[in-house]
Amino acid sequence: MPPLCLPVSRRTLVLGALGSAALPFSPLVLAQQKFINILTGGQSGVYYPMGVALSQIYGKAMPAAKVTVQATKASAENLNLLQAGRGEIAFTLADSLSDAWKGDKEAGFNAPLTKLRAVAGIYSNYIQIVASGDSGIKTMADLKGKRISVGAPKSGTELNARAILKAAGLSYADFAKVEYLPFGESVELMKNRQLDVTLQSAGLGVSSIRDLATSVKIVVVPVPADVVAKVGDAAYQAAMIPANTYDGQTSDVPTVAIRNFLVSHTGVSNDDAYLMTKSLFENLPTLVAAHNAAKAIQLASAMQGTTVPFHPGAEKYYREAGILK
């Protein structure tokens, strides 16, 4: 008799087999293997180290699950992957989340991503426009005619770049060269004097800019409050990069902040979403150890800043915590 051949799906492992002669009618034993894939961003950004810390938290809170961390192009790609069921939780910027929910094609979403469900508002990204010290760039007006990197195509950073540059009266056509590169690659080109400026939307103290600041003299370019107001999107808020965030940055620099979210989807069970939310807030020191940006994560504001529905599992935790009545 030929052996029984069964397909193995991503979520189901066949642990049983045909019974032995002693047990001719033993049934197949099927066990569900649970997967938690965390969608992050580039390895030189903030999402990735925080995702690694989350994987440690979830591994302890959900010992039966196989927890993995996936480096991606960040916000837009993450949300499309969630919609397709190719991840269980992801990092994203608030404006990208809003665009995905509406189905903004220019932002990289061909249709509304209606399966998305919010889990938690976390820390804010700061748009950090960093020029080399010898580029002559001091203000946003000085960017014209320079060589810039604006982040990976259709990433949250690149969408932020479009919005802020437009508000400042600039377009990509105003630059001598526009590169669409992740943070780390942008920094390497700046070190080699192949770029004048990089725009990075990330948590304060992002490793890529710290690396750049220790290698060459930098100028953190201010984004004035009136430019922020011209964006016309409530997700964009005037903010400040504190003095000494990076080597050589001796004064506060005005810029714009955009909130980040952790997002899941309707295919994730209520129990899993509950555990992911609960363990997140019960282990914040682990996230802070991974990156200082996590110091801004607060339970009290976890449900603020998006109109996308929250996952019922997350809502269960917020009710227990007294955040949701």
- Are 151 and 93 within 8 A, CB to CB? no
pLDDT confidence of 44, banded at 50, 70, 90? confident
Round the CA-based radius of gyration of the chain to a whole number and report it.
Answer: 22
Q: What is the rounded distance in angstroms from the CA atom of residue 168 to the CA atom of residue 172?
A: 12
Q: What is the rounded distance in angstroms from the CA atom of residue 310 to the CA atom of residue 121?
A: 10
Mean model confidence pLDDT for the chain: 90
The first and second tokens of residue 23, run together, are: 């047990």
Q: Which CATH superfamily is domain 125-258 in?
A: Periplasmic binding protein-like II (3.40.190.10)
| Number of Cβ atoms within 10 Å of the Cβ of 133 | 11
Give 52 or 42, the one with higher predicted confidence.
52
pTM of the complete model = 0.81
Digit-coded pLDDT (tens) for 245-297: 999 999 999 999 999 999 999 999 999 999 999 999 999 999 999 999 999 99
Annotate 266-291 with b (16+ C-beta within 10 A) or e (fewer): bebeeebbbbbbbbbbebbebbbebb
Give 226 or 33, the one with higher predicted confidence.
226
Digit-coded pLDDT (tens) for 118-127: 999 999 999 9
Choose among 203, 239, 235, 304: nearest CA to 96.
235
Domains 32-123+260-320 and 125-258 share a fold: yes
Give the list of residues 6+ apart from residue 142 with CB closer than 8 angstroms, or none: 131, 136, 221
Q: What ranges do the domains of the chain cover?
A: 32-123+260-320, 125-258
pLDDT over 70, % of the chain: 90
Residue positions counted in the chain: 325
Tell me, what's the pLDDT at 196? 98
Tell me, what's the pLDDT at 151? 93
CATH code at 32-123+260-320: 3.40.190.10
